[in-house]
Structure 1
């Protein structure tokens, strides 16, 4: 089998296995994201995996650069990548995506044992800080219609909320009775 045939078979298997799984996301036919852990879990992380043309004979490209992983330290990311590379080497030449995902899920605690969430702080200078004050603009309140106003609007419109055809036309018959010019 050629590499493309292997990739197509593995892609079909991944789609059937992870159909409806919110952790798995297919970015393209050769690029995937897989979240290990729940959204609320501080030890959750996102794997970005891309297949080169010669996958599975060559190793896939694994990355932890997703925005989801911003709170993970660089040392922890490097350790996770090195452990995943060991798994890739052990499975080289075979379809390994399912194996990698399941291995990462089973070993999430071990992979994240040294994890200390990175706190990103923002420094503001005194002129950039905003202090809530009474002069701050209040949100403009939308004017409420009375029941009578709503009823008049509803009576003028049809069931779709549209005005009937010709609602603003001038009555032609009234014009002919009043006459536009001197009738002689």
Structure 2
């Protein structure tokens, strides 16, 4: 059997096994994601696995670069990858995706026992700070000034709660003879 025939058979098996499983995602016929653990689980992670052209005779490419894994430390990621590489070496030459997924699920606790979530701080800056190079003299953002007539028109369009009535921006289409007229 050729590598492509092996891949087709394994792909068919994976589709039938993981049909309806939210943790399994087929990115392409040779690229997959598998979530180990529940979404709420702090020790959950996503495996990205891609098959090279000669898979299963050569090892699949395994990655933990998914955004979901950003909270996992580099040391923990390296441990997971090295343990998975051991499993790959043991199963080289055979269809191993199911074996890898199930092994990772069974050993999730051991793989993540030294896991300490990585916390990244996000700093938000306003566009005016970026333009001035983050100077310490902060400029006040000016609110849009409306004239009295603009304010009156805005109030007249709203109901007593300040909300626009249903359909306020609808377009009316009227058929006049053989032509349609759009009223707005």
- Indicate the residue corresponding to 1:165 in structure 2: 175
Larger of the two Rg values belongs to structure:
1
- Indicate the residue corresponding to 1:22 in structure 2: 22
How many residues in Structure 1 have an aligned counterpart in Structure 2?
Answer: 154
C-alpha distance in structure 1 between counterparts of 2:143 and 2:48, whole Å = 44
Give 5+ residue unaligned stretches, structure 1: 154-160, 169-184
Residues 40-95 of structure 1, C-alpha deviations (whole Å, 9 max, x = no match):
11101000000011100111000001111000000000000000011111111110
Larger relative strand fraction: 2
Question: Could you list the runs of 4 or more consecutive aligned residues of structure 1 that deviate by over 2 angstroms after TM superposition?
Answer: 122-125, 141-146, 161-164
C-alpha distance in structure 2 between counterparts of 1:59 and 1:123, whole Å = 41
How do 1:84-103 residues align onto structure 2 when only pairs under 5 Å count?
A: 84-103=84-103
C-alpha distance in structure 1 between counterparts of 2:4 and 2:20, whole Å = 25
- Indicate the residue corresponding to 1:114 in structure 2: 114
C-alpha distance in structure 1 between counterparts of 2:173 and 2:88, whole Å = 66
C-alpha distance in structure 2 between counterparts of 1:145 and 1:25, whole Å = 47
C-alpha distance in structure 1 between counterparts of 2:124 and 2:174, whole Å = 57
How well do the aligned residues superpose, as a CA RMSD in angstroms?
3.3
C-alpha distance in structure 2 between counterparts of 1:4 and 1:17, whole Å = 20
Report the CA distance between 1:111 and its aligned residue: 0.5
TM-score with structure 2 setting the length: 0.72
Report the CA distance between 1:164 and its aligned residue: 3.6
How do 1:5-154 residues align onto structure 2 when only pairs under 5 Å count?
A: 5-123=5-123, 143-144=157-158
Give 5+ residue unaligned stretches, structure 2: 145-153
C-alpha distance in structure 1 between counterparts of 2:24 and 2:172, whole Å = 45
